[in-house]
Structure 1
Amino acid sequence: MTESETALKVGQIVLITQGRDAGQYAVIIKILDERFVVLADGDKRKYDRPKKKNIHHLEFFDYVSPEVQNSMIETGRVTNGKLRFVLTKFVEGLVTDLKKGELN
């Protein structure tokens, strides 16, 4: 296992690299064990019907959403709207960073 896989956190943003949902972003809402996590995106994969995914089929980002993390700690769940908001904010920031990198 690599260092990034051992530091899994609830609220962490991931990119799905394998399977039907490949190329989509999601948020870790639960860590099942050292091999599997549960993902939701608030849109296609709602909180009530999350996707169990092998960590080898994911690309991890260093960003952990404090909104999702705090909501999971306080209430044990997170709203689908909050998941959509966090992912939209992250993807827009990522696109902005890539454009800045291309211009320099």
Structure 2
Amino acid sequence: MNEPDSSPSIGQFVLITQGREEGQYAVVIKILDERFVLLADGEKRKFHSPKKKNINHLEFFDCLSPEVQSSIVETGRVTNGKLRFALTKFVNEQVADLKKGEHLNG
């Protein structure tokens, strides 16, 4: 599943693979420890009420949002609009490409 040496980064995009929000995309906004992160999507999960998730229940993408990351690093927070914008852009560009690749192979 996840390699233990690959640690999550703030601003990294994830797919929730287990739980009530399974199949939804989110952004890592805080790393609590080696097992748990806080996620937000700017819509259902706002920045001020993030979801605590076990990293074993997430699929991490090799892609992160520099806007979200720099905002959190500089100010300690990020707007929900910025989260929504980054996620929409990621899903439209990256996920569409992944799905195209699946159709070509399968």
Give the CA deviation at 1:64: 1.1
* Residues 50-61 of structure 1 mapped to structure 2, 5 A cutoff: 50-61=50-61
- Partner of 1:89 in structure 2? 89
Residue 69 in structure 1 maps to residue 69 in structure 2: yes
Please tell me the root mean square deviation across aligned C-alpha atoms, in Å: 1.8
Q: Is the alpha carbon distance of 1:100 and 1:20 closer, same or farther for their aligned partners in structure 2, counting shifts above 3 Å?
A: closer
Q: Give me the identity figure in percent.
A: 71
What are the ranges of 5 or more consecutive residues in structure 2 without an aligned counterpart? Answer: none
5+ long unaligned stretches in structure 1? none
Aligned pairs for 1:2-81 (under 5 A) are 2-3=3-4, 6-81=6-81
Deviation, structure 1 residue 71: 0.1
SS in 1 for 2:47: coil
Provide the rounded CA distance (Å) in 2 between the counterparts of 1:10 and 1:90: 15
Give the 4+ runs in structure 1 shifted more than 6 A. Answer: none
Distance in 2 between residues matched to 1:54 and 1:44, nearest whole Å: 19
Aligned residue pair count: 103
Change (3 A) 1:100 1:41: same
With the length of structure 1 as denominator, give the TM-score of the two structures.
0.90
